[in-house]
Amino acid sequence: MSLLDLKGVEVQFSGFRALRGLDLSVSAGELRCLIGPNGAGKTTALDVICGRARASGGDILFDGRSIRRFEEHRIARLGIGRKFQVPSVFRELTVRENLHVARSRRTGVFANLGVRAAGGGADDLEKLAEFVGLKESFRREAGTLSHGQTQWLEIAMLVAQDAQLILLDEPTAGMTTGETRKTAELCKRLKGRHTLIVVEHDMGFIKEIGDVISVMHQGRLLAEGTVAEIENDPEVRDAYLGSGGISGA
């Protein structure tokens, strides 16, 4: 039984068809990599799942339930978390406060009036910050963090959110080799308890974490399989033609 099902999803941006009947099915606990040449619609696929983009056709089922017309916050409450390509954190809040906002067990205005901004399991949050190497910066404003640290903070925020399905858009962008390895390790650790969909360009990273890879091309699913299967797929080779093959993408 799959956790997430995209069935013939269409997305249009003022005439441009970013998704042209995308079919994608992800099971609970899986770590799925989404790859494809530029403009294949990978980010749009994540956008349409979390409600950022609206599907003009097809359907999206999460846990058997259509979420196509849900507002973003309702989709998030069902258990879908999103990391954006350009790291987006709350720059004027401290690392601790960012994590506290991210841990959204209660979402109501009046329910949260009773929760102290300074409290709320600070120990847990500090452990989380330590886990991603931000312990020293725990009380610093997020706006003062480096690019890599900001990426880490956003990943930690997704862990704090404890979403069932986590959508990661290029989590290793701008990271050093060491940081990339650490991200891979983290992804593997999250797998199982969480379901992950990761959009990536870094083939080394994908080989390290990926079980099943879905290849997108021109808004559609082109191929699906293990790393070896994908690399030998002639259609995939064609799609990447001119960009130095799949590994050079």
Partner 1 sequence: MRQIFVTRGWILGYAVFALAILAVPLFIDDPYLLNKLARYLIFGILAAALSLSWGYTGILNLGQAVSFGLGSYCMAMTLKLRTIPIQTGAEGLPDFMVWNNVKMLPWFWEPFHSTAFAIAAGIAVPVVVALLLGWFVFRARVAGVYVSIITLAMLVVVNLLIIDQQRFTGGFNGLTDLADLKLFGIDFDPYSGATYYLIAFSLIATLIIGQLVIRSKTGLIMQAIRDDETRVRYFGYDVARYQIFAFSLSAGISGFAGMLYAMVMAFASPTFLSVQLSLSIVIWCAVGGRASLIGAALGALLVTGIQGSLSETPAFLNTWMLIMGALFVAVVLFLPKGLISILNFGMARLAGDTAMTDDDDEVPLAHGGKLGIG
- Chain contacts with partner 1 (rule: CB under 8 A): 50, 71-74, 76-77, 81-82, 84, 88-93, 97-98, 100-102, 104, 107-110, 112-118, 120, 139-141, 144, 157, 161
Residue 168 Cβ vs partner 1, minimum distance, rounded to whole Å = 13
Phi and psi, residue 74, nearest 5°: -70, -40
Q: Which is nearer to partner 1, 141 or 179 (CB)?
A: 141
CA 2 vs CA 10, 63, 113, 137: distances in Å = 20, 7, 38, 39
Residue 142 Cβ vs partner 1, minimum distance, rounded to whole Å = 9
154: Cβ contacts below 8 Å, ≥ 6 apart:
83, 84, 87, 88, 89
Q: Which is nearer to partner 1, 100 or 217 (CB)?
A: 100
Tokens of 222: 């082109």
Q: Which is nearer to partner 1, 111 or 241 (CB)?
A: 111
Distance of CA 229 to the CA centre of its chain: 24
Residue 171 Cβ vs partner 1, minimum distance, rounded to whole Å = 15
d(CA 170, CA 192): 20
Q: Which is nearer to partner 1, 37 or 51 (CB)?
A: 51
Residue 1 Cβ vs partner 1, minimum distance, rounded to whole Å = 24
Q: Taking phi first (over 0 means left), then psi (-120 to 50 degrees means alpha), and beta for anything else, what does residue 68 get?
A: alpha
Q: Which is nearer to partner 1, 50 or 196 (CB)?
A: 50
Burial class (CB in 10 A: 0-12, 13-18, 19+), 176: exposed
Please count the residues of the chain.
Answer: 249
Q: Which is nearer to partner 1, 122 or 212 (CB)?
A: 122
Residue 28 Cβ vs partner 1, minimum distance, rounded to whole Å = 20
Residue 46 Cβ vs partner 1, minimum distance, rounded to whole Å = 11
